[in-house]
Structure 1
């Protein structure tokens, strides 16, 4: 039986991006009001993290668009750390910038829904995911098609794809700081709007160090790895602007 989600609430509207949150029956009880904030505890956490993620994404997008990345020390450092690129070149910048452009375009032209869930049966360690539907699934069971920014014959193009909503686990949201929740949102947004992939333990990072959990991730894999984009965007933004933000 599919989960039912309740209580849609607007979270953030930044540079045209609209993000809303809904809660599963199992998670809605964690969203009780705290102090005098009637938005609820989980909504309050997301109201901090998601605008932060959008600010970081737009900043990094602007740095790529303006051609500043090759001269930004933190851009080069973050690319080395998360994309395994030890001498950042224009070709690398183009590949990274395309994914970031797809994320920005997707978020700015679609109403993004974050569904907060209590747990995923059989997958206790999953903190987030994006649903997807096979194109042959009967129409009434498909998710609404979104406009997906992609590349055709070397040129930017639009195509409709069937991608579902971003899902974030309530326990993960509640125990993590704004930075970690922002990384998770960007990770899942890159799946939804740029069709990035996951590479198991070698593609996920340790929360308090930022290092990959296991070795073996190649540059080619890192350039389409969802976690790489979440971490790169947040670290580049925070360090380049010397922001005092807790990262675990």
Structure 2
């Protein structure tokens, strides 16, 4: 599965490399203010070195600006790559469906196929464009923050790690609940697509009006 996904990104490895590089740079810039604050207090304020203080303050202002510009570029590249990968995935899925036998289509519901082509691929798109880059960015941020904390004060770092298992457990529980909700949502969307295909087609509307089943169709849709 991982290899299949990796093959989708292979034509865009240059852009993916730039995204990864931007994540590393923003991660490093994110922990820089902590060291600058330490330098301001220990090397500028206490010795009353105003020249050094001005330079450090300028750096404190410049770092968020540079990080913001890099973040905009990262978001743009991530979105472009994600959209192109999803287009390739939809094309491959459609080609695969076109190659299936007639027996497959007689046993499959049109709404389910449409849901797979639209909703499921849309869910993958969210993972590719947002979740993947967010996870990588969070990993880099955590690692760089831990390194910075150890360099600043290993005692406070050890104290902070004492409460980490609690948050890991809570995150795991919430993740399980979200996976179940996502699964049920995708199943509901498939059922909704099937119902829409059946009731809003010409034959479906004709049957509903002929047998006066509009209220039943509305009730099924609301469920």
TM-score (norm 2): 0.25
More helix per residue: 1 or 2? 2
Structure ranking higher in strand proportion: 1
TM-score calculated relative to the size of structure 1? 0.23
